[in-house]
Structure formats: structure tokens, C-alpha cells
Chains A and B, each alone.
Chain A
Amino acid sequence: MSRNRYDYQAFLFILPLLLMIALFMLYPALTTFYYGFTKWNGISSPTWQGLSNFARLLRDSSFHAAVRNAVILALYVPLWTILPLLVAASIRKPVVGSGFFRSLSLVPFVISPVILGVLFNVLLRTNGVVNTLLERLGLRFLVTEWLVEPDLVIHVVALVTIFKFFGFGVILYLGAMGKISESLYDAAKIDGCSWLQTLRAVTAPGIRHTIEFFVVLGFITFFARMFPIIYTMTGGGPGYASFVPEFGIYFQAFQNFQLGYSATWAIFVYLLTFLIIFAQVMLMKREGAQ
């Protein structure tokens, strides 16, 4: 493409997209960074507060709970990443049943997190299906109050989220594995590599970018896309037991009507997101340098 032959008409083609992005993504994002420093009830005009919202955030016990829960969720990223990887590596060469699995694997992914959240809220009740099933299987000692035990509930949330994205991960990994040259596997076989060694030496490095993508998706999901599933499954409770940063934004805005402070929470979530992007860019740069 030569520099001097521009199609200025191109701007007409991208204008609608840019307009939507500017109005409903960039503008809301930028205003957050202003309102986060103000006191504002949404009706009267906002007043500048400097950093006092942030000081308040650091003292807020719901913020401590949200950070604790975000950290716990993030600790599930390895499981989120590795579980589908192991399954995908097992059915890289089709076996009887792998087609059956592939056709069912995306059902939890395409179903709304709202449906999944409400469904697990029903299934995990005290006398619900899950506890009944455990009793029938002779696993009575596992029967518990899944959504009531304060130390347990955030882990349940993490596992349901992993359940939702598991099939997506498998399909994604399988798609990437199809691009690995078969000769690498032949070489591994000649070298006498075990299944696990082959996974570590050939498969995982061969789909490294896809694994990275899935890891990033895991962090983004756990840090900033948990609202629908938690809202419907636990409502953030009991108490603050499954309260995550997104809930701070929501509750401060729609229950306490403190829109300035809500934006302060939002800035925190943005910072988490930027941190992930930054880490990914650094990772890509390092690889580029090698």
C-alpha cells in the first residue's frame, strides 16, 4: 500500500463503529476517571474530593473482602488453564467418544451465565440435587451448605466458572493443536517420550500463544466478568463472602447512590484490567526479543 494513495472514503465505513465506541465505551471509561475523584449523588453536580475516595476505599471492609475474593479467584487460573489442556491433549487424536464430547462440550459456554448462576443456586441448596446426589453416591461426608458456608462459597463460584469455560478451553486448544506438525510427534515417539513428556515438550510449546490467550481470559474473567454469575448464584453473599470488585461498583451506584465512590471502585477494576494487558504485552515483547 503506498502512502500517498489514501481512500478517504474508508472513514465512512469505520465511522459508525468509531461513533459507537466513542460514545458508549471511551466516553464512559474516561468519565469514570473523573468521577472517581468526586463526591456525586447523580443529581446535584459532582464536587472534587481529591484522593479521599481512594483513602476511603482502602479502609472499606467490603473492599478488603473484594480483594481477598479476587485473589482467591485468580488462584484458580492454573486449574482453569490446565484442566482443559489435559483433556484436549488426551483427545488430540480422535478416540471413540471424542466426537460425542466435542458436541456437548460447549453447552455450558453458550448458555447464559444468568441461567448457570440461577441453576446452580437451585442445585446447590441444602436439600438440593447436589447434596442428594452425594448422599446416593455414598459421599455423605461431602454434603455441605455450598452457598452458605462463608469460606466455601467463593471456591464454589470459581469452580462453576471453570465449568462454564472448560469446554471452550478444550475446543480452543484442540483447534491450535491441529496446527502442530505431526513430524514433531513422530520425533518425540522415536525419542521414547511418555505422554506427559510429549505434552510438555511438543504440545504445550506448540500452542503457547493459545495458552497465553486462555490465561489472560482467565484473569479477565475472574477479575472483571464475574457479575452475572455471582449476582444470580449468591448475590455476593453471604455477607461479603463472594463479594467481588464489580459488586462494589454496582452497590455503591445503585444501592447507596454514591456515584463518585462507585467510580473509585471502577477505577480499581480498570487498573486490574490494565495490569493484565500490561503483563501480556511485556510477555509478548520478551518473546519477540528472543
Chain B
Amino acid sequence: MSRGAGKVVVSIGIILLGLLTVLPFYFMVVTSIKDTDSYLTEKLLPPSRPTFNNYVTIFAQLKLAVYFRNSIIVLVATLVPYVLICSAAGFAFAKLNFPLRIPLLLLVTAIMIFPQMVLGVQIYHLQARMGLLNTHAGLVFAYLGYFAPYAAYLMTTYFRGIPRTFLEAAKIDGAGLWSIYIRIMLPMARPMLVTVIIVGSQAVWNELPFSLLLLRSTDKRTLMAAIALLNGEYGVPAMEMCAALTVVALPIILLYVVAQRQIQRGILAGGIKE
């Protein structure tokens, strides 16, 4: 086989693979705009007369708007402290000298591996005793504990790349650590902060076990918990289920379209050791 022909085969293969990767989501969208008749007669192709009735139905019947609002509340309430916590810790681990620095950093990186389901039941009882159960604040705290260590690790690796001379110069000028952190370090770390925010948003928006366990009432529920329970409890038709999935997936798809580079950076920063 000549090298040119080999390249053509690879090209065709890789394009098909790309299409295969999104094929389930094509079916998700196509099914969501079908009425019962067109779904029963034709499952694969788009309908000749698309309908948006399934979307109207799910918003009317499933309180989707409430779940949407809850998910956004939890997301915003998590992101603000999450960014502050992980960037402050990253700055300290990378640039400051303090007792137990290495053991604590090891703890932060090792703890990332703890499985969520194992923590979930105990967090449930802890929060019951603290009066945090079934509150958005409780879920936010659980997210900070679970997602901030990875973000702190990413920030630490990034701050390490910033030369110490910036820090020394600012110290000589008499700047305190807080003003160095806020005025020098945070602006310089902007690319990684964006990455951390995007990775965190995706993680929080998509999260299941905690949101299922810690929020017990319908009016507090997040989108993912609602969708997960929906599938088990009621006989929702495929078309309406797909409409709900499309609505819930849309914010993440949009984020992916806008911030693909940062998402890739987040992957590479976490998985590749220099």
C-alpha cells in the first residue's frame, strides 16, 4: 500500500470515527423533534414535519424550569468560593515556604481519588446533623470538598511556572502576601483560572451522586438528579425523554463549542507529567 493510499484510509476512518462519536447525540436531537407517529414509523431519519411539542410538554409537566434554576444557583454558588479556595491554595503550595508543605500537597493530590459514592452516605449524615441536608448550601460544601482539590492541584502546577522573581521583587517593594496574591499572581494565572472555572462548571453541572443523595425534596432538586429519577420512576416516552436530555445537555455543548481549547488544556494539565 502506498503512503498516499494509507493516508486516505486513515482520513476516511478518522472522519467516520468522529461521526460515530456524536451519532448518539444526533439520535437524541432527532428523536426529540418527532411526534409519536413519526417515531414509530421512522426511528433513524429526521422527521419530515419537526415538532417542538415534546419540549413544551416537558417544561409544562416536569418542572424543568425549577430544576434549571436550582442547577444554576448551585453552579454559581459553588464557582465563586471554588475559584478563591483553589487559587489561594495553589499560590501557597507553589510559591510559599511553610511547615508540612509537601505532606499537605500530597494529601490534596491523593484525596482526589476518593470515590464519591463512598463519601456520599457519610456526608449525608454529617449534613443531617449540621442542618445542611436538603439545602443548596450543603450541596455546595460537598462540591467544594470534592472538586477543589483537583483545581488546587492544577493551580499549583501553573503557579510553579511563574518565576519567583516576580514574588521577590514585590516583596522588596514592601507588598504583603495578600496584595501579591490578588494584584500579581491572580492576573498572571488568568489562563489557568479560566480552565479551572470551565472544568469546574462542567463537573458541577453534570454531577450525580451528591445531588441525588443530599437534596431530597422536589423543589430543591438539580437537573441531573431530576433526569436520573425521571427515567426510573415514570414511563416517559422516548421523544419527551430525548427533549429533556437535549435541554439539559445544551449548556454543556455550548460551553464545549466556546471553550474547547480550555477543556483540552484542563485534560492535558491533569494527565501529563512533564
> Which A residues contact B (CB, under 8 angstroms)?
1-2, 5-11, 13-14, 16-18, 20-21, 23-29, 31-32, 35, 42, 87, 90-91, 95-98, 100-101, 103-108, 110-123, 125, 127-129, 132-133, 136, 166-168, 171-172, 175-176, 179, 209-210, 213-214, 217, 220, 223-225, 227-228, 231-232, 235, 246, 249-250, 253-254, 259, 262-263, 266, 269-270, 273, 276-277
Contact = CB atoms under 8 A, between A and B. Distances in A.
Q: Which of B88, B148, B268, B272 has the most C-beta atoms of chain A within 10 angstroms of its own C-beta?
A: B272
Given A24-B142, A104-B21, A32 B271 contact: no
A98 B14 contact: yes
Interface of B: 7, 10-15, 17-19, 21-22, 24-25, 27-28, 31, 43-44, 81, 84-86, 88-89, 91-93, 96-99, 101, 104, 107-108, 110-111, 113-126, 141-142, 144-146, 148-149, 152, 177, 181, 202, 205-209, 212-213, 224, 227-228, 230-232, 238, 241-242, 245, 248-249, 252-253, 255-256, 260, 263-264, 267-268, 271-273
A91 B142 CA distance: 40
A119 B24 contact: yes
Given A123-B24, A128-B43, A220-B113, A28 B123 contact: yes
Contacts of A26: 111
Contacts of A114: 206, 208, 224, 227-228
B14 A95 contact: yes
Given A24-B126, A29-B114, A228-B208, 13 more contacts: A23-B126, A28-B119, A28-B122, A31-B126, A98-B14, A106-B256, A112-B249, A112-B252, A114-B208, A119-B25, A129-B44, A136-B44, A214-B271
Contacts of B31: 122, 129
A2 B13 CA distance: 56
Contacts of A254: 121, 213
A7 B98 CA distance: 6
Contacts of A246: 115, 117-118
Given A17-B148, A104-B18, A232 B25 contact: no
26 contacts: A5-B97, A7-B96, A7-B98, A9-B177, A13-B91, A16-B84, A17-B108, A42-B125, A97-B15, A98-B11, A105-B18, A107-B256, A110-B263, A111-B249, A112-B207, A113-B208, A121-B231, A129-B31, A133-B43, A136-B44, A227-B209, A231-B212, A246-B115, A259-B125, A269-B118, A270-B115
Contacts, number: 299
A10 B98 contact: yes
Instruction: Decide if the interface of chain B is mainly helix, strand, loop or mixed.
Output: helix
B96 A10 contact: yes
Nearest to B127: A24
A103 B84 CA distance: 31
A225 B231 CA distance: 20
A51 to B, nearest CB: 20
B7 A95 contact: yes
Nearest to A118: B231
Q: Which of A6, A23, A277 has the most C-beta atoms of chain B within 10 angstroms of its own C-beta?
A: A23
Contacts of B107: 21
Contacts of B144: 20, 24
The 6 closest A-B pairs by CB, nearest first: A24-B145, A28-B122, A112-B206, A224-B115, A13-B92, A228-B208
A253 to B, nearest CB: 4
B267 A168 contact: yes
Contact of A122 (B12, B108, B242): B242
Contacts of B92: 10-11, 13-14
B21 A166 contact: yes
A34 B125 CA distance: 14
B228 A231 contact: yes
A16 B142 CA distance: 13
A18 B125 contact: no
Contacts of A121: 231
Contacts of B116: 225, 227
A115 to B, nearest CB: 5
A118 B231 CA distance: 7
Q: Which of B7, B84, B115, B124 has the most C-beta atoms of chain A within 10 angstroms of its own C-beta?
A: B115
Contact of A27 (B126, B230, B238, B271): B126
A18 B84 CA distance: 13
A177 to B, nearest CB: 10
B17 A210 contact: no
Q: Which of A128, A167, A231 has the most C-beta atoms of chain B within 10 angstroms of its own C-beta?
A: A231
Contacts of B228: 114, 117-118, 228, 231-232
A6 B224 contact: no
B10 A95 contact: yes
